[in-house]
Amino acid sequence: MEKQLLLSGKKVTVSFMINGDWQTAIYQVDLDIHRDEVVALVGESGSGKSTFATAVMGLHKANQSKVTGSITLADQELIGLSNLEMAKLRGEKVGMIFQDPLAALNPLMRIGDQIKEAMAMRDVYQPSEYKQRVLELLDQVGIVNPARTARQFPHQLSGGMRQRIMIALAIANNPDLIIADEPTTALDVTIQAQILDLIKRIQEKKHAGVLLITHDLGVVAEVADTVAVMYAGQLVEKAPVAELFAHPKHPYTRSLLKSNPSIEQEQDDLYVIPGTVPALAEMDHHKDLFLQRVPWMQELADQPIADELVEVAPQHFVRGEAWRTFEFPEEQVQ
C-alpha cells in the first residue's frame, strides 16, 4: 500500500541577509516524508540540514531570511503562514527534538509543569486529566519513576533523562511529524543507542513520519528508511537506505561512506575528504559544488548542472552527471 504523504518540500530555498547581501544557504531542496517513514538528512556541518528543518518549523525570522518554494504538511502550505499560525501547528502537528535538551528546556520550571504546558496549548484535556497524562508520557519515554521526575527540574536529571523529557515534550500532542536534529550527538554511546531505539519505537507506535538530522551514518543505517544527502546547501542524492549503502552514486555520498569508521570497517586507513564546505558567498548552485574537492575532476566542476535530481534506479535520485565517471584515485586505471 502507498504510504500517506505527510510533508512535501518542493524547491525549498532559504537565503540569509549577511553583511547586507542575500546569501543562499539551501537551494531548491525537494524532500518528502511519509507516514511511517524515517528520513535521515545527512551531510557535513554547514551543508544546510538544520536550515531545512527550521524552514519546515517556520522558525526563520522574516526580516533576516527568505524562504521560497513550497512546504506542505498534510496538504497545507506552510510558507507564508503567520507566526501565530505556525506556532499552533508546531504545537499540534510537529514535534521537535533538539541536540541540547538543557538549552531547550526551561531551567526554572518543573518537568511535569513543562509537559503540562505543552499539552495545554491544545486544550483537549480536563484540568484533572493533565496530571495522569504527564505521568503516562513520562512512562512512555522510559522514565522509571514518573511521579518523582515530574517534580524535578532539568538540572537534576542526567543527559539521557533530559533527552527522554525532550521526546516526551515532542510527542505530548501526538504529532504526525517528528523532527529530530542530532538527537543523540551530545550523549555517550550506550545512551545514544537507547534514545535512538526510543525514537524508533515511538515512531512505529504512533505511525509518525520522522525527519532525522545526523552526520552519523551508523545512526542512519540503524533507523532510517530513506536517506537524503546534502552538500553545500544542495540535495545531491536520496534513496532507500539499503540501496544507498549498497549503490551510492554521487561522489560526495561515496566519499562520506568511505570516510565513515562504522561503515567501512575493513579499511585500514580512514579516507579523509580533502578540503571543506565552501562559504555561503562562494556557492554557485548551478554547479556541482562537491567537485571543487575532487582535484581530478576540475573540468566537470566548472560545468553547469540541472537543479533537478535524476532517478537512476527506483526511488534512487542523484544530482548531476559526475557520478557516472567518478572514481577514487586508487580505482583509476593508469
Ligand X SMILES: Nc1ncnc2c1ncn2[C@@H]1O[C@H](COP(=O)(O)OP(=O)(O)OP(=O)(O)O)[C@@H](O)[C@H]1O
To which H or E segment does residue 39 belong?
strand 38-42
Q: Pull the grid cell for residue 119.
A: 499539552
Helices (H) and strands (E) in the chain, counts: 12, 12
Does position 43 bind ligand X by CB under 6 A? yes
To which H or E segment does residue 97 belong?
strand 94-97
What is the C-alpha separation between 248 and 259, in angstroms, rounded?
Answer: 13
Does position 50 bind ligand X by CB under 6 A? yes
Instruction: State how far the alpha carbon of 114 is from the alpha carbons of 86, 119, 217, in Å.
Output: 20, 9, 33
CB of 189 to ligand X, least distance (A): 19
- Residue choice 7, 12, 25, 42 for contact with ligand X (CB under 6 A): 25
Residue placing its CB nearer to ligand X in the complex, 47 or 234: 47
Q: Pull the grid cell for residue 283.
A: 556557492
Does position 48 bind ligand X by CB under 6 A? yes
CA dihedral 160, 38, 180, 152 (to 10 degrees): -40
**Spatial contact of 58 and 244, defined as CB atoms under 8 Å apart:** no
CB of 25 to ligand X, least distance (A): 3
By CB under 6 A, which span of 42-50, 71-79, 160-168, 252-260 interacts with ligand X? 42-50
Binders of ligand X in range 198-257 (CB under 6 A) = 215
Question: Within its chain, how far is the Cα of 218 from the centroid?
Answer: 15
Does position 47 bind ligand X by CB under 6 A? yes
Number of shown-chain residues binding ligand X (CB under 6 A): 13
CB of 27 to ligand X, least distance (A): 11
- Residue choice 94, 280, 289, 322 for contact with ligand X (CB under 6 A): 280
C-alpha distance across the termini of the chain, in Å: 49
Does position 49 bind ligand X by CB under 6 A? yes
CB of 264 to ligand X, least distance (A): 21
Q: Pull the grid cell for residue 135.
A: 505521568
**Spatial contact of 211 and 181, defined as CB atoms under 8 Å apart:** no
Does position 46 bind ligand X by CB under 6 A? yes
Does position 112 bind ligand X by CB under 6 A? no
- Residue choice 15, 28, 51, 192 for contact with ligand X (CB under 6 A): 51
Residue placing its CB nearer to ligand X in the complex, 35 or 285: 285
Give me the residues that bind ligand X (CB under 6 A), please. Answer: 16, 18, 25, 43, 45-51, 215, 280
